[in-house]
Amino acid sequence: MTDLDFRQGGYPAAGPQTTNLADILERVLDKGIVIAGDIKIDLLDIELLTIRLRLFVASVDTAKKAGIDWWETDPALSSHAARNALEDENRELRARLDALEAKSEDMSTSEK
């Protein structure tokens, strides 16, 4: 093999040319065939299962860091975020009520 011609035509699944990291990560981190056998063989006394589990946990964190967490913050699509929005509104309303009450108290004392 002297050249780098991979000839994309032979089989279909060559992978898109431009791929964003999130697309690749979600596939290479926890997709693909996981062999049951590999967890029985330890590498330098470290169970490979441990590596895989930590890999998975870390991948979730990484995904979050990469911004794959919109459901937690977008009120348009998350009930949790919508609840936050409601809480914010409640807080805002309470503050306005306090201000109004304070003002009406002021007025009633000054009218006396």
Partner 1 sequence: MTERSPRASDTNAMYVYAVCRTEDRLPLDGVPGVSRDAPVRPLSFGALTAIVQTVRAAEFTDEAWQDRLADEPELERYARAHHEVVSAVAAHAPTVPLPLATLYHGEDSARLALTKESARFHTALKRIARHAEWGVKVYAAHVPQKRESSPAEEPNAPAAPPRPAPGAGRAYLDRKRNLQARREQRQEDSLRVAEAVDADMNRIATASRRLRTHGPAAAGDDRRTQVLNATYLVAEHRAAELALLAQTLRERTGAQIELSGPWVPYSFVGEV
- 110 binds partner 1, rule: CB under 8 A: no
Residues numbered 33-52 forming contacts with partner 1, rule: CB under 8 A: 33-38, 40-41, 43-44, 46, 48, 50-52
Q: How far is the CB of 111 from partner 1 (least distance, A)?
A: 14
Residues numbered 49-78 forming contacts with partner 1, rule: CB under 8 A: 50-52, 54-55, 58-59, 61-63, 65-71, 73-77
- 21 binds partner 1, rule: CB under 8 A: yes
**Closest to partner 1 by CB, 5 or 112:** 5
Q: How far is the CB of 78 from partner 1 (least distance, A)?
A: 9
Q: How far is CA 96 from CA 3, 76, 88, 102, in A?
A: 72, 25, 12, 10
> Which of 87, 103, 105, 106 is the binder for partner 1 (CB under 8 A)?
103
